[in-house]
Amino acid sequence: MQSVGQGVGMAAASRMLGGCIASCLPGTTCNPQTGLCDTLPCRGQCAANEICENDRCVPLAPLIIDQRR
């Protein structure tokens, strides 16, 4: 039972330092306020040129610069 006690102690120490109780899985991030892992939008799967909308990765709209003056 020593490993269970060590695990509980490590979780408590992590929480006291503002971390999560456990290691967060890919697609989640630590919420320092609750100590729990929160799901990222689209589970963090969007590429750099995409955004998450309604749980789907969609391409960013092209930036159009009006140069008329």
Output the pLDDT for position 18. Answer: 66
- Tokens representing residue 29 in the block: 């991030």
Tell me the mean pLDDT in the region 15-40: 86
Residue 51 lies in a domain: yes
Output the pLDDT for position 55. Answer: 93
Residue 25 lies in a domain: yes
Residue 67: pLDDT above 70? yes
Residue 32: pLDDT above 60? yes
- Tokens representing residue 42 in the block: 């689209």
The average confidence (pLDDT) of the chain is 82
Work out how many domains the chain is built from and give that number: 1
DSSP-derived secondary structure for 16-37? HTT--SSPPPTTEEEETTTTEE
Residue 23 lies in a domain: yes
Residue 64 lies in a domain: no
| Domain encompassing residue 13 | 2-59
Tell me the mean pLDDT in the region 38-60: 95
Residue 44 lies in a domain: yes
Q: Is 56 helix (H, G, I), strand (E, B) or coil?
A: strand
Output the pLDDT for position 54. Answer: 94
